[in-house]
Amino acid sequence: MGDMQDSAIVVAGATGNLGGRITRALLERGASVRALVRHNTARDRLERLQKLGVTIASVDLGSASEVTAACRGASCVVSALQGLRDVILDAQTVLLDAAVKAGVPRFIPSDYSIDFTKLPSGENRNLDLRREFHKRLERTSIAPTTIFNGAFADMLTGQMPLILFKLHRVLYWGNADQRMDFTTMDDTAAFTASAALDASTPRFLRIAGDQLSARQLARVTSEVTAEKFRLFRAGGLGTLGMLIKIAHTFAPGGNQVFPAWQGMQYMRNMFDGRAKLEPLDNDRYPGIRWTTARDVLSGRRVG
């Protein structure tokens, strides 16, 4: 990996959660980072990036000329943008076209998910947008690399309605033995940074800090908390599908990226097993110590 460290890596979404972590992981690897930020980004967020040694390029992701100028000379553009069609398709397409025009050889789109190439469209709105963006990627001369990491393991102790800590239950749909992929945001960021600095990445890279089923999650949670966690079957995948339709009808969620029904679509896709990651590329870069679900649960703040 010797020859590409000199040129900059462009990061779009560096003020965001994953993007910030990717930026720090790139800097730790000795890369120079150019963050594309919006014109109206708050000054304290910019100063935080500048203190780390990041170069700031303030651009409008609607302006091809501004973004092209900001991409010049970079060896890879990493997108960690988040949003709906206006971002994942429209803004990312401006970014992609600009990268091509500026002669950037490689592009990492904002995917970071379960393997949606295995899913037909119509099952998961947010992933459909990313699959649609892939069609645009394939039409360009740039070399794209998608990082698939399953679900962010950090969500096991937060947003993800799997481990119900108060009720001492692990909720599941369908099959309690279906294994699922979990990777922390930091591990995803570390791997993405290494991939951004690797001149010869394949089209897809798959990583998982841990792979475990609801039954295994119940066991690990019981061990870590020293309290008994039992399985709770909420229903089959057909029932979940019906609930998604109902939730979508009665709480469509407008412009929200994660309305309840969208979270339920992710659950369905994880429990049905088709988007499971294999084979894994965990060993591609030395020095990444993968964080397990047990590690995440052990670090949980009690209360």
Ligand X SMILES: NC(=O)c1ccc[n+]([C@@H]2O[C@H](COP(=O)([O-])OP(=O)(O)OC[C@H]3O[C@@H](n4cnc5c(N)ncnc54)[C@H](OP(=O)(O)O)[C@@H]3O)[C@@H](O)[C@H]2O)c1
How far apart are CB 18 and ligand X at their closest, in Å?
Answer: 3
Cβ closer to ligand X: 4 or 84?
Answer: 84
Residues in 79-108 at the binding interface with ligand X, rule: CB under 6 A: 80-83, 87, 91
How far apart are CB 41 and ligand X at their closest, in Å?
Answer: 5
Based on the shown chain and the rule CB under 6 A, indicate whether residue 9 belongs to the binding site for ligand X. no
- Choosing from 13, 144, 174, 209, the residue that interacts with ligand X (CB under 6 A) is 13
In whole angstroms, what is the distance from residue 284 CA to residue 113 CA?
Answer: 18
How far apart are CB 237 and ligand X at their closest, in Å?
Answer: 19
How far apart are CB 232 and ligand X at their closest, in Å?
Answer: 22
How far apart are CB 248 and ligand X at their closest, in Å?
Answer: 19
Which range of residues in 74-82, 169-177, 237-245, 284-292 is near ligand X by CB under 6 A? 74-82
Based on the shown chain and the rule CB under 6 A, indicate whether residue 48 belongs to the binding site for ligand X. no
Beta strands per DSSP E along 112-243: 143-144, 146-148, 151-152, 163-164, 169-173, 180-183, 204-206, 210-212, 230-235
In whole angstroms, what is the distance from residue 7 CA to residue 114 CA?
Answer: 31
Phi, psi of 231 (to 5 degrees): -75, 150
With the CA atoms of 246, 124, 78 and 3 taken in that order, what torsion angle do they form, in degrees rounded to the nearest 10?
150
Residues in 129-168 at the binding interface with ligand X, rule: CB under 6 A: 149, 151-152
User: Amino acid letter at 18?
Assistant: L
Contacts of 41-50 with C-beta under 8 Å, sequence gap 24+, read: 41/15, 45/15, 49/14, 49/15, 49/23
Residue nearest to ligand X (CB): 16
In whole angstroms, what is the distance from residue 71 CA to residue 96 CA?
Answer: 10
- Choosing from 31, 61, 94, 212, the residue that interacts with ligand X (CB under 6 A) is 61
Based on the shown chain and the rule CB under 6 A, indicate whether residue 112 belongs to the binding site for ligand X. yes
Cβ closer to ligand X: 151 or 170?
Answer: 151
* Residue 271 near residue 241, CB atoms below 8 Å: no
* Residue 193 near residue 288, CB atoms below 8 Å: no
Q: How many CB atoms lie within 10 A of CB 287?
A: 7
* Of 63, 83, 188, residue with least CA distance to 133: 83
How far apart are CB 42 and ligand X at their closest, in Å?
Answer: 8
Helix (H) or strand (E) run with residue 189 in it: helix 185-196
Cβ closer to ligand X: 19 or 174?
Answer: 19
The count of residues interacting with ligand X (CB under 6 A) is: 21
Based on the shown chain and the rule CB under 6 A, indicate whether residue 32 belongs to the binding site for ligand X. no
Cβ closer to ligand X: 81 or 171?
Answer: 81
- The residues of the shown chain that bind ligand X, judged by CB under 6 A, are 13, 15-19, 38, 41, 61, 80-83, 87, 91, 110, 112-113, 149, 151-152
